[in-house]
Copies of this chain bind each other. A is one copy, B any other.
């Protein structure tokens, strides 16, 4: 998927996240909200809104990355549950949430969106250290 040259991250995603890595198909971002360990995967291709806007080959590549990253993130975070979702009601660029959940987190058992829990940016040093560790894993 050699499309990175023409790929532009949606400004809202850019504002809300920190960069971790670019894989073959997806850019991997860390949501800058320390309440929940939360990744966002963005397929690096223009004009995608729905998962079925991806062609068959790209879809498999993206979904394989989602599975692989979700599994590694679950091990890294020791999460009780991983939430995976492509919603996109607010930000139209296709992006996939991978969120580590704990039975004692601030929104459990509800989803993290619209949970009433106010976002809390990471301490910059803490974010740097998490991103370094995740880069090595991914």
Q: List residues of chain A with CB under 8 Å of any chain B CB.
A: 49-52, 54, 59-60, 63-64, 66-68, 70-71, 74, 81-90, 101, 108-111, 113-115
Contacts and interface: CB of A to CB of B under 8 A. Distances in A.
B86 A84 contact: yes
Contacts of A85: 83-87, 111
B89 A108 contact: yes
Contact of A50 (B68, B70, B90, B110): B70
A90 B70 contact: no
Given A51-B70, A52-B74, A83 B83 contact: no
A130 to B, nearest CB: 21
A60 B60 CA distance: 7
